[in-house]
Amino acid sequence: MAIDIDTKIIGLIGYPIGHSMSPTIHNALYNRLDMNYIYMAFNISKDNLHRAVEGMHALSFIGFNVTVPYKERIIKSLDTLEKESEIIGAVNTVKIEDNKLIGYNTDGMGFMNGLARLNFSPSGKDIIVLGAGGSARAICVYLLKENPKNIYILNRTFDRGLALADELNKTFHCNIVRPIKMNVLDNLKPDILINTTSVGMYPHINDSPLEKYDFHPNTVVVDIIYNPHETRFLKEAREQGCRTQNGLAMLIGQALASIEIWTGQKISYEQCQNILRDDKIFIDLSI
């Protein structure tokens, strides 16, 4: 796709963003689908964050993604927030439209997209979430919209899990989010077990968030990590008979949700999968 006077720019801001796959994914899609957009990544220091946002606005960017460490801090530079991102308290996608900056969070949307691909509905289900950080929060907000039976939060720092559970119960007027400690884990038989922590991510590929855990073969096991393709956690789950999914489904799902917000264009997961496979961006995209 040639860059011309009509090319619309989409940004990615964060610090550091050296490892991000997003520019490669977005530009491959825009190129192959003849969409006249370009996706550019910018390392922005904390002191320049607001100036960078104003600059993107002034340069008629149609929007941008926000990554670590600015997903929360960006909010004060925006005009409005979409409901879920307000509850989550973090934004990873900004749309610039009619001189307004609108914040969204597509992480939870991307995760739900992945569950749909597994034909898994959270409704009435027992769910265990490992971790209580930003990713856990985004995922829990979207899970709670589907009326699960229970969401158990197991976090290294118990009090952080407790605080997240309290806040979610309050926001959703329910009492089904429960912080748990490691010693009760073996008494639970979850329908789905989700790792939202960074434990097991490259280069620490021999680590797992659960040591010596007996997975129940009927539990669906999801890891939001995609590097390595199969974490130790997922490998052990698969070897014990569980259906598993890695973080590529969420990564791609959130990118497609962002593209729809900016451009109005719906790209299917399959279409995206084929393009990334043809361009040899990911070797194995099976989920």
DSSP string for 66-132: E-TT-TTGGGGG-SEE-HHHHHHT--SEEEEETTEEEEE--HHHHHHHHHHHTT---TT-EEEEE--
Instruction: Report if residue 271 touches ligand ATR, rule: CB under 6 A.
Output: no
Of 134 and 148, nearer to ligand ATR (C-beta) is 134
212 annotated active-site: no
Catalytic residue among 8, 71, 100, 266: 71
Instruction: Report if residue 14 touches ligand ATR, rule: CB under 6 A.
Output: no
Of 49 and 96, nearer to ligand ATR (C-beta) is 49
Instruction: Report if residue 92 touches ligand ATR, rule: CB under 6 A.
Output: no
Task: Out of 199, 220, 225, 276, point to the residue binding ligand ATR (CB under 6 A).
Answer: 199
Instruction: Report if residue 55 touches ligand ATR, rule: CB under 6 A.
Output: no
Cβ 37 to ligand ATR shortest distance, Å: 27
DSSP state of 37: E
Question: Looking only at residues 203 through 222 of this chain, which bind ligand ATR when binding is defined by CB under 6 A?
Answer: 209
Task: Out of 155, 244, 254, 258, point to the residue binding ligand ATR (CB under 6 A).
Answer: 155
Instruction: Report whether 185 contacts 154 (CB < 8 A).
Output: yes
Instruction: Report whether 3 contacts 38 (CB < 8 A).
Output: yes
Instruction: Report if residue 197 touches ligand ATR, rule: CB under 6 A.
Output: yes
Q: Which residue stretch of 11-19, 97-105, 193-201, 252-260 sits at the interface with ligand ATR (rule: CB under 6 A)? A: 193-201
Q: Is the peptide bond before 122 cis (omega within 30 degrees of 0)?
A: no
Task: Out of 105, 135, 245, 246, point to the residue binding ligand ATR (CB under 6 A).
Answer: 135
Task: Out of 31, 36, 147, 198, point to the residue binding ligand ATR (CB under 6 A).
Answer: 198
Q: What is the 3-state secondary structure (H, E, C) of 184-217?
A: HHHHCCCCEEEECCCCCCCCCCCCCCCCCCCCCC
Instruction: Report if residue 181 touches ligand ATR, rule: CB under 6 A.
Output: no
Of 197 and 245, nearer to ligand ATR (C-beta) is 197
Handedness of CA 71, 76, 81, 87 (dihedral sign): positive
Of 96 and 132, nearer to ligand ATR (C-beta) is 132
Of 106 and 197, nearer to ligand ATR (C-beta) is 197
Q: In the structure encoding, which two tokens stand for residue 25, read together?
A: 């994914």
Q: List the helix and strand counts (H, then E) for the chain.
A: 9, 12
Cα distance between residue 221 and residue 223, in whole Å: 7
Residue 95 bridge partners (DSSP): 63, 102
Cβ 135 to ligand ATR shortest distance, Å: 3
Binding residues vs ligand ATR (CB under 6 A) = 131-136, 155-157, 160, 196-199, 209
Indicate which residues carry an active-site annotation: 71
